[in-house]
Amino acid sequence: MGALLEVLQDEPELEIGVVTACPQFPETRFRHRGVEYFIVHQKWARIRRQFFPVDNNPVYVKKCAAVADIFKPDIVHIHGTERFYGEMLCRGLLHCPVVFSLQGLMNTYSEWYRFFGKISVLRIITDNLFTTLKGHGFLLEYLGAQKQAERERRYLQQGKFFFGRTAWDRATVRYFNDQAQYYCVNRVLRSKFRQKKWQLDACTRHRIIFTNARQPRKGTELLLAAARRLLLRYPDLKLVLIGSLGTGRYRKQLEREISTLQGDVELPGPQNAQVIADELCKAHLFVSASYVDNSPNSVAEAQLVGTPVIASYTGGVPSLVQDGQTGLLFPTGDVPLLVDSIVRIFEDDGLARSLSQKACVTAGVRHDPGAIVRAQVSAYQDILSRSTESMSS
């Protein structure tokens, strides 16, 4: 969203206001670089979330709607269907057209076998019993995700306009609302990934990069299992896990599994865009092993840099990765085929270079900031036109 705002705020025909509700900052309003910012302060948010997995507190819904009354926008653009902002539409508190940008889709993300991956029910219960009694942990997160999915379905059914970028999110909108207007608007990626270019001769052979290991649905355990098998063939293998490993027993379990790999896993922790772009250039390939994803930025960023990509065939990922052309796809949860895909790139420099070059070109076109701005502004204009026609009829 930050990268998108950077390019939109330079458009002279747009006047932009940004509103967010969060507990970290006091309620305030300020202007910066021509953009009006509104912060709605949420009191006791952490405590409330322990007892109410999805916070639809009408106080904050109304406060956000009141900001719209102050700013008087022609369009309200809601990023994501995960939070409560869509309640403003469902409760009839907005007096202008509303468009949702689809991010993750909780209706599918919240399915048990995707949310927890291959982790057994027994382990989920035993690992999370104590944290659940304390008011947090994956079991309560799962219940919260179920509530988010229920709320999201209302947004999909009652909304009229949606921005998406994959065949999967388009199909999901159509499934719940075949009268909705869908616009394909790609994501603006952070500029650091456009400035770096992967080269096979400059990378470190047998070095694999992976990001965002903190949730079971990201498939970290699949990659660790693959690494254990690959080490028999490539003793110099390095696995780099950028980002947090999460918290609680799940983190401890990952740490135990990582310790069995005897130092062959690097844990640099959360990093900024510059460091991640540098790490992508150093790696031999990038892996996304998720059980479900729409259009993960991490995959798109790796493609833009040109790092060869291997990703699970799930959700909207096939709209980003054309198998054998701009990356390799493997069936979700299939460790042997993940291992085979990694070996193919390790052993075939021609394939690695081809995947890199084609992905870099494709991602460069797909994530071109100018084209995205034009598509988004054109979609705004079409929404206003359709809304005006609807009102006049």
CATH number for the 191-366 domain, one of 2.40.50.500, 3.30.70.1290, 3.40.50.2000, 3.40.50.300? 3.40.50.2000
Structural domain boundaries of the chain? 2-188+368-392, 191-366
pLDDT per residue as tens digits for the range 15-57: 999 999 988 888 999 999 889 999 999 886 655 555 555 667 7
Lowest mean pLDDT segment, chosen from 13-22, 142-151, 368-377:
142-151
Please compute, for residue 304, the number of CA atoms within 13 A of its CA located in the half-sphere on the CB side.
26
Average pLDDT over residues 167-192: 95
Residue 280 class from Cβ within 10 Å (0-12 exposed, 13-18 middle, 19+ buried)? buried
Q: What is the pLDDT of residue 161?
A: 97
Question: Do 2-188+368-392 and 191-366 share a fold?
Answer: yes
Could you tell me the two tokens for 156?
């999909």
Alpha-carbon gap, residue 342 to 228, rounded angstroms: 13
Q: What is the pLDDT of residue 127?
A: 62
pLDDT per residue as tens digits for the range 208-241: 999 887 778 899 989 999 999 999 999 999 999 9
Give every CB contact of residue 120 below 8 A, 6+ residues apart in sequence.
Answer: none
pLDDT over threshold 80, residue 364? yes
Give every CB contact of residue 273 below 8 A, 6+ residues apart in sequence.
Answer: 190, 192, 193
Burial per residue of 148-179, b for 16 or more beta-carbon CB atoms within 10 angstroms, e otherwise: bbebbeebbeebbbbbbbbebbbebbeebbee
Please compute, for residue 289, the number of CA atoms within 13 A of its CA located in the half-sphere on the CB side.
32
Q: What is the pLDDT of residue 63?
A: 92
CB count in 10 Å sphere of residue 125: 11
Torsion, CA 49, CA 51, CA 56, CA 60, rounded to 10: -60
pLDDT per residue as tens digits for the range 325-341: 999 999 999 999 999 99
CB count in 10 Å sphere of residue 103: 17
In CATH terms, the fold of domain 2-188+368-392 is Rossmann fold (3.40.50)
CB count in 10 Å sphere of residue 72: 10
In total, the chain counts a number of residues equal to: 393
pLDDT per residue as tens digits for the range 248-293: 667 777 888 888 887 799 999 999 999 999 999 999 999 999 999 9
